[in-house]
Amino acid sequence: MNIHTPAAQLTQTTGAPEKPSRAEAEDAIRTLLRWAGEDPAREGLQDTPARVVRSYEEFFRGYAEDPVALLARTFEETEGYDEMVVLRDIRIESHCEHHMVPIIGKAHVAYLPGTRVVGISKLARVVDAYAHRFQIQEKLTAQIANTICDVLQPRGVAVVIEANHQCMSTRGVHKPGASMVTSRMLGAFRDDPSTRREFLAMISPRSCTSVEA
């Protein structure tokens, strides 16, 4: 699978390489345990391959989800609401496709409605559907923005993701405090500096403190 694969193809199972059996996947975990220096037959590890495979079913459930379908149900009765819709601090749990270790962070998603709006939880589900795959953060950011843009046809879409990569914090250069920030701005968020500024102010940690007042 490469970065240019359209969203629709990502969710097809027919074109994908044949899926190995559960037993084959568990055998692969035993091989990795032996590679690390372990005895997969010792008591504490006996159920580990089955647990790891079940964990993979959770971590990578996004391959079975269709982000386009998640956004299909929209609402047109908006009483003329045409301001920005922002969902911020959406937790991201993904896995780096280079090292297969976690990427943990948060996403902020905004759009400027055209004629249709979508249930706000659907934006979070689109984030999850793409995050629960092997990813690089740049591709994840682009896929979320492009899908919202294609399906909702809004006047603009903005996605910002900030995340920590365990391939950088627990190995390699060992920089646990470093986070990576990526963004994709489309339509008005790209073309209109005041729209972009408004969005960036809304997702800044200091904004909306009056909510608690």
How close are the terminal C-alpha atoms of the chain, in Å? 48
Q: Indicate if 137 belongs to the active site.
A: yes
- Which long-range contacts does 102-107 make (Cβ < 8 Å, 24+ apart)? 102/166, 103/135, 103/137, 103/163, 103/164, 103/165, 103/166, 104/163, 104/164, 104/166, 105/161, 105/162, 105/163, 105/164, 105/179, 105/180, 106/161, 106/162, 106/163, 107/141, 107/144, 107/159, 107/160, 107/161
Q: Indicate if 149 belongs to the active site.
A: no
Q: Which residue is nearest to Zn ion (CB)?
A: 167
Identity of the residue, 135 or 147, whose beta carbon is nearer to Zn ion in the bound complex: 135
Q: Indicate if 93 belongs to the active site.
A: no
Q: Indicate if 4 belongs to the active site.
A: no
Q: Which residues bind Zn ion (CB under 5 A)?
A: 96, 98-99, 167
Report the distance separating Cα 150 and Cα 136, nearest Å: 21
Identity of the residue, 73 or 98, whose beta carbon is nearer to Zn ion in the bound complex: 98
Q: Indicate if 208 belongs to the active site.
A: no
Identity of the residue, 25 or 167, whose beta carbon is nearer to Zn ion in the bound complex: 167
Report the distance separating Cα 169 and Cα 110, nearest Å: 29
Q: How far is the CB of 175 from Zn ion (least distance, A)?
A: 13
Set 26, 96, 108, 132: catalytic member: 96
Set 97, 138, 162, 198: catalytic member: 97
Set 38, 93, 167, 198: catalytic member: 167
Identity of the residue, 173 or 211, whose beta carbon is nearer to Zn ion in the bound complex: 173
Q: How far is the CB of 101 from Zn ion (least distance, A)?
A: 6
Set 26, 95, 137, 143: catalytic member: 137
Report the distance separating Cα 65 and Cα 208, nearest Å: 33
Identity of the residue, 98 or 175, whose beta carbon is nearer to Zn ion in the bound complex: 98
Q: How far is the CB of 170 from Zn ion (least distance, A)?
A: 10
Q: How far is the CB of 97 from Zn ion (least distance, A)?
A: 7
Q: How far is the CB of 62 from Zn ion (least distance, A)?
A: 18
Q: Which among 48, 24, 25 has a CA at the least distance from the CA of 36?
A: 48
Set 95, 108, 132, 165: catalytic member: 165
The Cα angle at residue 62 between residues 69 and 185, in degrees rounded to 5: 70
Catalytic residue numbers read: 96-99, 137, 165, 167
